[in-house]
Structure 1
Amino acid sequence: MTKVLFVCLGNICRSPTADGIFRELVAREKLDQKILVDSAGTGDWHIGKAPDSRTIAAARQRGYDLSVLRARQVSARDFAEFDYVLAMDKSNLMNLQRMKPSTYTGHLGLFLEFGSRGNYLEVPDPYHGDRDDFELVLDLVEDAAQGLLNHICNNALR
């Protein structure tokens, strides 16, 4: 089984969006027995809380249900569990690089590396923004999620 972890700061906006969208894409392709999906935050402020209500509403408008997800904090154990640890931005990637055990052999990088919208390297945090910011996150995540699934199908699931 290939295991994917999406990581942002608080695990209430960007990483649960990636989690929900990628999970839905995996289910549509009937790969849920081959790909496990989860999300976490580098911060501990929102542990146990549902995603931001604006995140849930924006995702629902596109047919994704994020309401069952709950925030958790990433831990060193995650590197033993996940094949892909994907950060939403460079700041969280740096935090993850500091946590990463020297024995980790999986893929640690930016999620948008798998996207086709080269003008964006990071998923911007919509928390202090408006509806358009949440829509942009959805656009970027849908694109990169498809790229990630293609990558996994072409490499890890062979």
Structure 2
Amino acid sequence: MTKQVQNNIKILFVCHGNICRSPMALYYFRSLLKERGLSGVIQADSAATSTEEIGNPVHHGTRAKLKQAGIPCEGHRAKQMTKADYKSFDYLIGMDSWNIRNMQRIAGGDPDHKIFKLMEFTGSGRDVADPWYTGDFDTTWSDVTEGCAALLDYISERL
């Protein structure tokens, strides 16, 4: 991970359905950008690897965690990652190993080394806990906030 970056960085957060982890990361990350005055320099979006939840809003558990932190997420609708996203975004951030495999499949590989697991930026290779299966949105929130802060630090050092 020695990628040098320019201004106007685009980041895509990706999980399986785009209703739990990736929107949690997206809206938390946007709040960090606002806090640090980087909203005009770094842009972020989110997507799914699957079609199962397309068009659905943020899961109520994710919405509750974001609301607790004072972060709005109204208007979000799940959408699927496309091959074109690989060209459009500088960083494509998956939440777990399965996401990474599916992202590489959708993108047709990762020749530009743009696909990362969020927790790589913390020095850990672990997966972000999936609350869809565990119901544990607190652990997911902890992973997402740690990972997003580390990702933003990583990118900020390269601006």
TM-score (norm 2): 0.89
Give the letter aligned to residue 20 of structure 2. C
Does 2:75 match 1:68?
yes
Matches within 5 A, 1:104-123: 104-115=111-122, 118=124, 121-123=126-128
Query: After TM superposition, what 4+ stretches of structure 1 lie above 6 angstroms from structure 2?
Result: none
Mean CA deviation greater in 13-22 or 42-51 = 42-51
Question: Structure 1 residues 9, 154: closer, same or farther in 2, change over 3 A?
Answer: same
Q: Equivalents in 2 of 1:103, 1:90: separation in Å?
A: 14
Distance 1:36 1:106, change over 3 A: farther
Unaligned runs of 5+ in 2: 1-7
Question: 1:103 deviation in Å?
Answer: 7.7
Other structure's SS at 1:5 match: strand
Contact 1:8 1:88 in 2 (8 A): yes
Query: CA–CA distance in 2 between the matches of 1:32 and 1:10?
Result: 25
Aligned to 2:11: 4
Residues 79 and 104, structure 1, Cα contact 8 Å, conserved in 2? no
Report % sequence identity: 35
Select 1:124's aligned residue among 122, 129, 143: 129
Question: Are positions 1:154 and 2:157 aligned together?
Answer: yes
SS at match of 2:82: coil
Structure 1 residues 141, 101: closer, same or farther in 2, change over 3 A?
A: same
Question: How many residues align structurally?
Answer: 152
Aligned to 2:142: 139
- 1:85-104 CA-to-partner distances (Å, cap 9, x unmatched) read 01000011001112224685
Unaligned ranges ≥5, structure 1: none
SS at match of 2:62: helix
TM-score relative to the length of structure 1: 0.89
